[in-house]
Amino acid sequence: MNGKAKDSKRETDKPQQRSNRRRNRGTNSSAEWGDANADKVLAAISAIAGNGFAVRFGYTRDGGAFAIGVVGDGDPYTEYVRPNEDIDLYLDGLIQDYIDGSRPATPPQLP
């Protein structure tokens, strides 16, 4: 098979592969931010941004999990939450991490 034929086969196999991965994980659902509590998403944004950091809400490449990234709090990091886990509970913990006083109240000052 030449390179283009291989790429074409990979593209046509992707939906089936995603379906197989979800089935193997024990969930057939996809992550959906629309299902998260909007007030908790807003509170997380406020808590993180209020400390001078940036937050990114997205999905894994296959759409099978939530991806939450924080930039500016040391090394950037991304955490993943599966759709069969409680995203609202995760958001509660994230909010507490940034409003319980363990993070600086103001962003770091540049020299």
110: left (phi over 0), alpha (psi -120 to 50) or beta: beta
The amino acid present at 63, given as its one-letter code, is G
Longest dimension (CA), the chain: 59
What is the Rg, in whole angstroms, of the alpha carbon atoms belonging to the chain? 18
Give percent above pLDDT 90 in the chain: 50
Q: Report yes or no on 84 lying in a domain.
A: yes
Pairing mode, if any, of strands 54-59 and 74-81? unpaired
Q: Report yes or no on 66 lying in a domain.
A: yes
Range of the domain at 48: 29-99
Q: Report yes or no on 49 lying in a domain.
A: yes
Q: Report yes or no on 109 lying in a domain.
A: no
Partner residues linked to 55 by β-bridges: 70
With 0.75 as the threshold, say if the pTM is over it: no
Per-residue model confidence (pLDDT) at position 107: 45
Q: Report yes or no on 77 lying in a domain.
A: yes
Q: Report yes or no on 7 lying in a domain.
A: no
Q: Return d(Cα 111, Cα 90) in angstroms, integer.
A: 35
Q: Report yes or no on 71 lying in a domain.
A: yes
Domain total in the chain: 1
Say whether pLDDT at 24 is over 80.
no
